[in-house]
Structure 1
Amino acid sequence: MRKRTLLSLMALAPVVSACGFRLRGAPSFPFKTLYVQAPEGSPFTREVLRNLATAGGNLTVVLPPAKPDTAEATLQLLGERRQRIILAKTVSGQVREVELRLFARFRLVDQQGRVWLEDTELQQKREMSYSESLALAKDEEEAMLYRNMYSDLAQQLLRRLSAVHAPVDE
């Protein structure tokens, strides 16, 4: 039985590798040092810094009080905002379903002030049901969804940073 399973897996191995599937792996950035200019205490800033620290590769992150000109590029986290939109109400006017939205803006410039990435806004949305009788549990669920969205946005930002190219001088 085990031999048959092993043989069938070996037969499928070329098919799986030929489909183009490949694990994402560690990102490689087109710069060696990155200065992060961001608001302190922001959940998005914490998540971006955590993702940069665990990204691996050859990237060195420079933080204040160091000067921005000590790094090849500067990531400017311009802001974030949350929205909570009511999608549905019951006949009696109680909230039944809400949509949570999270927006984050950033840009990337180099030492000479050339813009590598223009102001970019990333966004995430999540829908959740709501019940007044379960308000405490729903508040916890909302906090968990926001943490998840911050993590997703930080990962999107890292993928954008790894795909960016230096601006061409004109």
Structure 2
Amino acid sequence: MRRLHVLGVVMLAFTVTACGFHLRGSYDLPARLSPLYLEKESMSLLLYKELRSTIRASGTELTEDATAAASVLSVSNEHRTRDVISVDTLGRAREYRLIYRMSFSLQASEESVIENSQIKLSRNLLFNPEAVLGVAEETQNVYRDMIRDSAGQILLRLQALK
């Protein structure tokens, strides 16, 4: 009975890997990008930290010297905006759309591999006038999640270069 259980687990593992399943956050970047330089002056600290940790987890080497890098990843036009999408009967905002947008480029061997690729993410947020401090904290959490998601999208696009 125990052997049958072990065999079932092994077969399930083979089936899951055979269909192309990968754990969220695990990326297999092309070896030609290594060592990679992150142009941190062009991006927010939060995005830089998220990209750095995710790229390191993928096994791609990072370098602090742009001249020693095989590729350079830079971010531009990183913006956060907030639009009112609904109001109450008194005309006060009840719901906001939080938008995070940015562009990124990848240079490798003096040529542009990805040029000004855009990422735009949006989330809706209900506003409660009785919990202004809580809404402010929730807004920051939503932006943090969008930055984390955008880092994942960047790495998916880099992974597609294989």
SS in 1 for 2:89: coil
SS in 2 for 1:133: coil
What's the offset of the Cα at 1:115?
0.8
What's the offset of the Cα at 1:134?
1.0
User: In 2, Cα distance between the equivalents of 1:17 and 1:45?
Assistant: 32
TM-score (norm 2): 0.81
Superposed, 1:124-163 pairs within 5 Å as 124-163=121-160
- What do residues 51-78 of structure 1 show as CA deviations (whole Å, max 9, x unaligned)? 22222x2x21112xx2x23111111112
> % of aligned pairs identical?
20
User: In 1, Cα distance between the equivalents of 2:96 and 2:16?
Assistant: 42
Find 2:54's aligned residue among 36, 51, 61.
51
Aligned-residue Cα RMSD (Å) equals 2.8
User: In 1, Cα distance between the equivalents of 2:90 and 2:18?
Assistant: 53
Structure 1: stretches of 5+ with no match in the other structure: 166-170
Aligned to 2:113: 116
- What do residues 16-38 of structure 1 show as CA deviations (whole Å, max 9, x unaligned)? 64982522444132322111113
Moved over 3 A (4+): 16-19
Superposed, 1:36-47 pairs within 5 Å as 36-39=38-41, 42=44, 43-47=46-50
**2:43/2:76 contact within 8 Å kept:** no
Aligned positions, number: 155
User: In 1, Cα distance between the equivalents of 2:63 and 2:18?
Assistant: 39
Aligned to 2:161: 164
User: In 2, Cα distance between the equivalents of 1:70 and 1:133?
Assistant: 54
- Between structure 1 and structure 2, the one with the greater Rg is 1
SS in 2 for 1:62: coil
